[in-house]
Structure 1
Amino acid sequence: MFKLISHIIFCILFFYSCRNIEEKNVISLKDDFNSIIDDNTLIAITQNNSTDYFIYKGEPMGFQYELLKIFSEKLKLKLEVNVENDINKMFSSLNNSECDIIALNLTNTKERKKLINFTVPIIQTRQVLVQRKPDKWQQLSNKAIDKQIIRNVLDLANKTIYVQGGAVYISRLRTLSDEIGDTIYIKEIEDIDTEEIISMVSNGEIDYTVCDENVGLINQTYHQNIDIKTPISFNQNIGWGVRKNSEQLLDTLNKWLVDFKKTKKYKELYNKYFRHVKGVGYSNTNYHSKKTGKVSEYDDLIKIQSKIINWDWKLLASLIYQESKFIPDLKSWTGAFGIMQLIPSTAERYGIDTCSTLEENLEAGTKYIKWIEEQLEDIEDDNQRIKFTLASYNVGLGHVLDARRLAEKNGKNPNQWDDNVDYFLLHKSNPKFYRDSVVKHGYCRGEEPYNYVTSIIERFEHYKNVIKEK
């Protein structure tokens, strides 16, 4: 009898302990998604390459980037993009909660599903062999080319294929080696992405690599001597990756992807990067960061001027993009002109006019920034002072000083931009604020400088992600 009672008690305790664990798991699942909402930030990790994420004419672009941007905007979240070209490190970052989503050409495999959850497929593609066409291939027929390169995977026996470390191509090549009953030598290259390895094939440093067909098609536009017509796999699903405990995020992503893929906007986005000649040609121009390592053709001049104000040159470049998109002869309806878009009164102060050179316009704009910073030297935090300076460059120092006075009067920190002074500048079109006795410069449409600062700082982060110093 005692044993029976003990057994019943044990079962009851076990039942409730299981229920407890289940409830805790449910809470943690909710918290994982809720923390994204609470922080108002979606953190994604991707690769800097010619399709996923890059800078083109000063603006962040890329298939993965634009998808992320549309999704984050739908949820009204700020998007933070991190770059990592090592796939294994991406998985570690995700599972260590350093990011929320892996967004790239991520092949859905059984092994990877043990580590992360995949979204519904975003696209389908297959793996292809990348090899060099024979010498003088332009003079050869397709049939003649086929005879001199690998068209049958059986001919991969005893060949050496170089692939990105941690890439899904490794497991496929091992399987293929078993299937053909012979050895395929696989060499993993760490800290280098697939596109760079494709360049190595094109340049003759190595003979073979493997990539996804859609990536190969893009790269073939600027490495015309490579061949990607030999498939080594069937079509495979490509999706985004999230943590195992991110079920609510996964569910939200899947519902959005299923709906979004039916839209005209998705078709336009896919065609932009993978179908249209102009789209695939992005990477084949002097404006593509992956090809040139530059933001603009004026980077060297910007670097010189940035030293005068002790700014990261990429921050100054981001301001210039916001002002003129690097168009040196741009004129606005307000009379602002040149690459720095100086208004006539400011330009006159620094001795330039519409006939001045690009270098003179850039130098004058930088001197104006330096002057603004000198008026704000009581703000000790460099990062905060930069935001005040950007706002002043856009809307004028007077309105920013008004917003500081309003912040102080209302118990906020006049030396802190974020969630303090920015609020009062944003709302300076409200009579309650612009008619306040501490205000000296009246009405201001504060949304413009508020968005101006946000855009420049966000673009600066993209430039830092993509443009690596040598």
Structure 2
Amino acid sequence: MRGIERFVWLLLILLVACKPSENKVKTSVVEKEVSFDLKEIQERGKLIVVTDYNSTNYFIYKGTPMGYQLELLNEFCNNLGIKLEVIVSNDVEKNISDLRKGNVDLIAQNLAVTRERSKEIKFTEPHTYSRQVLVQRIDDKNSNKSHQTDFNQLIRNQLDLAGKTIYVQKGSSYVTRLNNLSDEIGDTINVVEIPDYEAEQLIGLVAEGEILYTICDEILARVNKNYYDNIDIETPISFPQKMAWGVRKSSPDLLQVVNNWLTRFRKSSKYNIIYKKYFLNRRSTHIVDAGYNSLKGGSVSQFDDIIKKECENIDWDWKLVAALIYQESRFLPEIKSWAGAQGLMQLMPETAKTFGVHNITSPSENIRGGIKFLKWLDKRMALRVDDPEERLKFVLASYNVGIGHVLDAMKLAEKNGKNPQIWDDNVDYYLLNKSKPKYFNDPVVEFGYCRGEEPYLYVNEILERYEHYKNLME
């Protein structure tokens, strides 16, 4: 933030700070809780989870969705045999409200287990432990900024927080702790709750000198210490706390399954690998500092601008095409498959020639040719599949395995009483099983044998990655 934008932002913070009501914990409105437990979740076939967006829990690096919470959730859903749907929100109060309303089934964040929150939700077994620490700036002695703290006067005694203004995430457990600490020291701590800001963003403001103090969990603070060498995180303000997930009180079966799984998984070597990857391995810090990261720079790849430009010629979200390109080439423009497909969108030489691609490894030409091919497939599928959202799945499968095999699967679906215009649990079943003689020898089949597992997974993985891109790039 610069100039007038910074002035307006700071003015708003001061106005918030001057409101006494903002410095007290608000009692949330009691909402009627829906009854929706494990059985209903399994019948639906997916677990809907809300998590927060930061450099440890959930982010994208070079096109790959990553994060501590995401990896735990994937392991849990794989164990349960259901799909995972992720929603992003850093608003703790809203997440609890959405949980109780039934909009989500699980809150997968570093939720500090507190008595106050236990009145609204049930906490799972802890997935980790942490304490709250004060984040303050270590000043450059040569700095002329008058509002910075003295390099030699870092706060080490909690009594010295009296009269200080501390900015924290709205509705977080940090608010409760600071208000309790204010009572404990017998003096006022000015607590300013900032809506729509996550703890990590506030750490960045401390590092930049925009604010003096914030609070966050020590595990997150230590990760950010690797990015900001001018912050101090050595002053604790709480005892170690349990960090857990949250479920509805009306979901005891889900709670029991999560608890059993977490208890076992936390003892496994796989959990240790995941934990070290995000919290202990300093070499992993380049993930956030590097480019092509949803946190720093907001890019999926170095080819985002080309993808956006070429997507003007097709009615597709550029993030969907980016998800396809990642699936095809991992954004490596020189890559060549065993079958001879080349470039970012893995065009076969004949296909490239058909759509006017002269230099098949040129990122711009390859993407342009791939977009033209997608448009060509979409036009032909539009004659058979009316719904654009459904048609998208047919087009993706055709891009991977060829339109002929997809048309065969549609014929098989229709012959067997299924809807040939619906992908999930209809056409995808017959494409998946087109490697079986019962199906590829059927008289309606024109293109014979197909290793159907590859296009089946291809469609699912692209759409899953696309949802992550939408979550994190918007």
- TM-score (norm. length: structure 1): 0.90
* Maintained 8 Å contact 1:132/1:226: yes
Matches of residues 61-76 of structure 1 in structure 2 within 5 Å?
Answer: 61-76=66-81
- Residue 175 (structure 1) aligns with: 180
* Maintained 8 Å contact 2:141/2:151: no
Secondary structure in structure 2 of the residue aligned to 1:291: coil
- Residue 192 (structure 2) aligns with: 187
- In structure 1, distance between residues paired with 2:235 and 2:42: 45
Picking from 421, 426, 432, the partner of 1:426 is 432
Per-residue deviation, residues 17-60 of structure 1 (Å, max 9, x unmatched):
xxxxxxxxxxx999611001111111110001111111111111
Q: Does 1:467 align with 2:470?
A: no
Gaps of 5+ in 2: 1-32, 144-148
Picking from 388, 396, 399, the partner of 1:393 is 399
Distance 1:229 1:335, change over 3 A: same
Aligned Cα root-mean-square deviation (Å): 1.8
Per-residue deviation, residues 380-408 of structure 1 (Å, max 9, x unmatched):
21111110000000000110111111112
1:290 Cα deviation after fit: 1.1
- In structure 2, distance between residues paired with 1:165 and 1:29: 25
Identical aligned residues as a percent: 53
Picking from 441, 461, 466, the partner of 1:455 is 461
Matches of residues 48-127 of structure 1 in structure 2 within 5 Å?
Answer: 48-127=53-132
* Maintained 8 Å contact 1:337/1:354: no
Please tell me the residue identity of whatever aligns with 2:465.
Answer: R
- In structure 2, distance between residues paired with 1:332 and 1:430: 26
1:425 Cα deviation after fit: 0.6
- In structure 1, distance between residues paired with 2:218 and 2:210: 21
* Maintained 8 Å contact 2:360/2:366: no
* Maintained 8 Å contact 2:59/2:293: yes
Please tell me the residue identity of whatever aligns with 1:434.
Answer: F
Secondary structure in structure 1 of the residue aligned to 2:152: helix
Q: Which moved more, 1:169-178 or 1:220-229?
A: 220-229
- In structure 1, distance between residues paired with 2:465 and 2:225: 29
Q: Does 1:36 align with 2:41?
A: yes
- Residue 265 (structure 1) aligns with: 270
Distance 1:399 1:269, change over 3 A: same
Matches of residues 212-227 of structure 1 in structure 2 within 5 Å?
Answer: 212-227=217-232
Matches of residues 226-245 of structure 1 in structure 2 within 5 Å?
Answer: 226-245=231-250
- In structure 1, distance between residues paired with 2:379 and 2:141: 62
Please tell me the residue identity of whatever aligns with 1:390.
Answer: L
* Maintained 8 Å contact 2:34/2:101: no
1:145 Cα deviation after fit: 8.1
1:90 Cα deviation after fit: 0.3
- In structure 2, distance between residues paired with 1:265 and 1:424: 35
- Residue 307 (structure 2) aligns with: 302
Picking from 378, 390, 395, the partner of 1:384 is 390
Distance 1:251 1:30, change over 3 A: farther
Please tell me the residue identity of whatever aligns with 2:59.
Answer: F
Please tell me the residue identity of whatever aligns with 2:338.
Answer: W
- Residue 209 (structure 1) aligns with: 214
- In structure 2, distance between residues paired with 1:357 and 1:344: 13
1:443 Cα deviation after fit: 0.3
- In structure 1, distance between residues paired with 2:283 and 2:109: 21
* Maintained 8 Å contact 2:169/2:193: yes
* Maintained 8 Å contact 1:63/1:273: yes
- Residue 403 (structure 1) aligns with: 409
* Maintained 8 Å contact 2:334/2:342: yes
Aligned residues: 436
- Residue 315 (structure 1) aligns with: 320
1:280 Cα deviation after fit: 3.5
- In structure 2, distance between residues paired with 1:424 and 1:150: 66
- Residue 342 (structure 1) aligns with: 347
Distance 1:137 1:260, change over 3 A: farther
1:430 Cα deviation after fit: 1.3
1:250 Cα deviation after fit: 0.8
Matches of residues 433-448 of structure 1 in structure 2 within 5 Å?
Answer: 433-448=439-454
Per-residue deviation, residues 194-230 of structure 1 (Å, max 9, x unmatched):
1111111111211110000111111122222111111
Secondary structure in structure 2 of the residue aligned to 1:36: helix
Ranges of 4+ aligned residues in structure 1 off by more than 6 Å: none
Please tell me the residue identity of whatever aligns with 2:229.
Answer: Q
Please tell me the residue identity of whatever aligns with 1:235.
Answer: P
- Residue 24 (structure 1) aligns with: none
* Maintained 8 Å contact 1:157/1:184: yes
Secondary structure in structure 2 of the residue aligned to 1:200: helix
- In structure 2, distance between residues paired with 1:366 and 1:156: 58
- In structure 2, distance between residues paired with 1:267 and 1:183: 41
- Residue 149 (structure 1) aligns with: 154
* Maintained 8 Å contact 1:134/1:148: no
Secondary structure in structure 1 of the residue aligned to 2:353: helix
* Maintained 8 Å contact 1:30/1:248: no
Please tell me the residue identity of whatever aligns with 1:224.
Answer: D
Matches of residues 266-281 of structure 1 in structure 2 within 5 Å?
Answer: 266-281=271-286
- In structure 2, distance between residues paired with 1:383 and 1:360: 27
Secondary structure in structure 2 of the residue aligned to 1:290: coil
1:170 Cα deviation after fit: 0.5
- In structure 1, distance between residues paired with 2:437 and 2:262: 43
The structure with the largest alpha-carbon Rg is: 1
* Maintained 8 Å contact 1:134/1:149: no
- Residue 352 (structure 1) aligns with: 357
Please tell me the residue identity of whatever aligns with 1:161.
Answer: I
Please tell me the residue identity of whatever aligns with 2:413.
Answer: A
* Maintained 8 Å contact 1:29/1:247: no
1:251 Cα deviation after fit: 0.8
Gaps of 5+ in 1: 1-27, 139-143
Q: Which moved more, 1:408-417 or 1:122-131?
A: 408-417
1:279 Cα deviation after fit: 2.6
Please tell me the residue identity of whatever aligns with 1:81.
Answer: V
- In structure 1, distance between residues paired with 2:406 and 2:226: 49
Q: Does 1:196 align with 2:213?
A: no
- Residue 246 (structure 1) aligns with: 251
- In structure 1, distance between residues paired with 2:286 and 2:188: 37
Secondary structure in structure 2 of the residue aligned to 1:148: coil
